[in-house]
Homo-oligomer: A and B are copies of this chain.
Amino acid sequence: MPILNDDPRPWEVKVAVALLDFQGRLERRMASRLAEHGITLAQFDMLLTLCHGDGVTQQDLAERLLVTKANIVGLIDRAGAAGLVERRPDPEDRRVNRIHVTPAGRKLAGKVRPGQDELIREIFGHLSEAELRQLHALLGRLIAACPRDE
């Protein structure tokens, strides 16, 4: 029984703490599984994003992954060194790189994704579908209440 009845903290704080706690656990578990395949969460995110929108510019990619254009360089460098993605010059605008998943990257994503889904189902499967819908609705309202830009 992790929470005592006379816990004096307001519900808002208790929920926030629980949420941060759970997210830390989830992320750790996901990262640990990904590490077995030699990639990080950030790189897996990039891979998934590219599998859906191959050939985007670095700028676009940075925006989708919510990192700066300076930091996407290193992410692409590392994933590129691992042979997962590659830069191709845009023929129409010589300032632009188009980022593509390599066959190896696609293969790795396909190999890794089932494990991630399995993990998610293993954990979230403890809730009924009705509860998952509830949780999803509540999270949607929290997301709306928490814009990224301050």
A residues with CB within 8 A of B: 2-3, 10-16, 18-29, 32, 66, 117, 120-127, 129, 131-136, 138-148, 150
Contacts and interface: CB of A to CB of B under 8 A. Distances in A.
A12 B132 contact: yes
Contacts of A13: 117, 120
A57 B23 CA distance: 27
Contacts of A139: 15, 18-19, 21-22
Nearest to A133: B11
A65 to B, nearest CB: 11
A10 B121 contact: yes
Contacts of A26: 16, 19-20, 146
Contact of A125 (B12, B18, B134, B136): B12
Contacts of A141: 126-127
Contacts of A19: 19, 22-23, 26, 135, 139
Given A124-B12, A129-B11, A136-B3, A20 B23 contact: yes
